[in-house]
Amino acid sequence: MPAVTQRKRSSQHRVTFLVSGISVLSIVIAVTLLLLLLISVLAFLAPPLLDDPLFISNRNNRNHRTSSLSSLPPILFIDSFGVNNRNISVVLESFVVPSGGDSSSRHHLWRSNRSNYYFGCSNSTTKFPKAVTWPNRYLMIATSGGLNQQRTGITDAVVAASILNATLVVPKLDKSSFWKDTSNFTEIFDVDWFISSLSKDVRIVKQLPKKGGKGYTSPYRMRVMRKCTPKCYQRRVLPVLLKKHVVQLTKFDYRLSNKLETDLQKLRCRVNYHALRFTDPIVQMGNKLIERMRKRTNNFVTLHLRFEPDMLAFSGCDYGGGEKERTELGAIRKRWKTLHTKNPEKERKQGKCPLTPEEVGLMLRALDFGSDVHIYVASGQVYGGDQTLSSLRQIFPNIHSKDTLATKEELAPFSLFSSRMAALDFMVCDDSDVFVTNNNGNMARMLAGRRRYFGHKRTIRPNAKKLYSLFLNRTSMNWETFASKVQKHQKGFMGEPNEVRLGRGGFHENPSSCICQTSKSISRNTSLLSSVYQA
């Protein structure tokens, strides 16, 4: 009996264990199936990999939108135990830069509706006397800086010679600046045209003449204060000129007042916009670059990108390159011993820092330029090279430069001379449908004024002070909000006629004395004013 009972109990234990095993196995299988189901659901909801072909195809088909460097795809936050219902949070796409767009159909981008009403007018009035040159009065100048800074000096030197009734000797170009360009005046500008076209205004000679078989002794060197007025020249320079006969004004840039009587301002315009022509080799190569851009597109944008190492170092701004950037630019900055240390954050808040290539791209896209636009980048050596330009190229793939449009052989006569290379960029920028700048330097100002003079061609300058906080906080808003705010901030910075009040800005940037209105424009403005008063 005990043996039988023991066998029954043993059998019961085996059955119980088997049942328990089956129950545990069922639970394990159920949990596994549940986890597999959960993983399948999450895999369906989760964003695809950025390099998944299906994602790329869907992204391109989704209203042709593409994200910027700062954009993130939608993300689900999952804790270590699976989905926590209390903490599920979906980060929606907020700042996504749209691609695509047909820019050629947006006529307002390429020109102002009012530009036909304005034209350049720099002929002297009947009150302006013909050139009166006293004997033994020779004015020489030594320019300063790069091509466009020198251009301001040459322009103002002609006016200074007129004020002093002196003969101007063809200016000497700066060969000791950062760019170390050895070019002479005659290698950049057409000197014969320069002399002949201004013959009614000022007597100009290529070099000091011989005096009694001998040349003049070394000129007396002096420097005038910045923005010196005509009375200032007559008071400070004329007595020295009468005594020494030959005076050379050194570091001659912005040494003439911004505000002059109308006829002297018009003389400035005749020099800058008509007398200063580039030499034939520069003109021929510049025209080739323009033609090659026109073959690619009907309308094109030029971007004067001041993002060279020396420029960034001089600005004292921070461009997000970390300690490496601070070390490299700091070493360059030591070349200017008189520069004081600047607060990068303060400089940017005040709009004194040039926009980065990415910021320029975002601004243009927000202004409604589509990714189909062709952009010619006028620049020297870009700090960071192609890596720096990659963010701009993501938004606008059609990027060109003189190096991509011309062969090394074609550029060989110019490539070792920074001013001649800058002259080629100047020509393409001057001819473009839209000129954009990331700064407010010498070339930007000179081209802004020139494009106003020759028909108010579209010129876009960034309102850097207003755009600063917008760029800083862009990921906290959606694209539509960002674009709307950019368009608002850029009103008054799009090259429209009369957007700059008279007397504001440098004369080379806003040559208001040399711009006239057509009769249609005057009558139109008069009718607008009368309707306002009647209202």
What pLDDT, on the 0 to 100 scale, is given for residue 82?
35
* Residue 46 in domain: no
Tokens linked to 62: 């989704």
Q: Where is the domain boundary, 217, 251, 275?
A: 275
pLDDT for 249 equals 97
Are both 180 and 287 inside the same structural domain?
Answer: no
Residue 48 lies in a domain: no
End position of a domain, from candidates 253, 275, 297 = 275
- Which has more pLDDT, 185 or 180? 185
CATH number at residue 503: 3.40.50
Residue 126 is assigned to a structural domain of this protein: no
Residue 291 belongs to what domain range? 108-116+280-307+354-528
Least confident of 11-15, 36-40, 188-192: 11-15
- Pair 447, 453: CB distance under 8 Å: no
| CB 428 within 8 Å of CB 286 | yes
Whether 60 is in a domain gets the answer: no
SS3 of residue 378 by DSSP:
strand
pLDDT of residue 242: 95
At residue 210, the pLDDT reads: 77
Report the distance separating Cα 487 and Cα 106, nearest Å: 15
Domain co-membership, 377 together with 458: yes
Question: What is the residue-averaged pLDDT of the chain?
Answer: 82
Tell me, yes or no, whether 228 and 369 share the same domain: no
- Whole-model pTM: value is 0.79
Joined tokens for residue 17: 């264990």
Helix 418-431 and helix 408-415, axial crossing angle in degrees, nearest 10 = 120
| DSSP per-residue codes, 316-366 | T---S-HHHHHHHHHHHHTT-TTPPP--HHHHHHTT-SPPPHHHHHHHHHH
pLDDT value of position 23: 57
For 61, counting Cβ atoms within 10 Å of its Cβ (0-12 exposed, 13-18 middle, 19+ buried), the class is exposed
Is residue 305 scored above 70 in pLDDT? yes
Query: What percent of the chain has a predicted confidence (pLDDT) above 90?
Result: 61
pLDDT at 93 over 60: no
* Amino acid residing at 95: F
127 vs 55, residue with greater confidence: 127
517 and 118 in contact (C-beta within 8 Å)?
A: yes
91 vs 515, more confident: 515
Within this chain, do residues 218 and 293 fall inside the same structural domain, yes or no? Answer: no
| Residue 285 sits in the same domain as residue 301 | yes
pLDDT at residue 91 in the model: 37
User: What pLDDT is attached to residue 133?
Assistant: 86
510 shares a domain with 377: yes
Same domain flag for 385 and 485? yes
Q: Tell me: the pLDDT tens digits for 149-184?
A: 999 999 999 999 999 999 999 999 988 776 679 999
Task: For residue 503, name the pLDDT band (cuts at 50, 70, 90).
Answer: low
Residue 322 domain-assigned? no
Rounded CA separation 220/292 (Å): 49
Nearest alpha-carbon partner for 156 in 165, 143, 167:
143
Same domain, 372 and 484: yes
Are 234 and 295 contained in the same domain? no
Please indicate, yes or no, if residue 123 is contained in any of the structural domains: no
284 and 388 within one domain: yes
Please state the domain count of the chain: 2
CA 209, chain centre distance (Å): 44
Per-residue pLDDT of 367-385, as tens digits, reads 999 999 999 999 988 999 9
Instruction: Establish if 86 belongs to a structural domain.
Output: no
Token code pair at residue 109: 């981008």
What average pLDDT score do residues 14-24 get?
48
Is the model more confident about 490 or about 519? 490
Q: What is the largest CA-CA distance in the chain?
A: 154
| 287 shares a domain with 203 | no
The predicted model gives 303-314 an average pLDDT of 91
Flag whether pLDDT at 68 surpasses 80: no
243 and 385 fall within a common domain = no
Residue 223 has pLDDT above 70, yes or no: yes
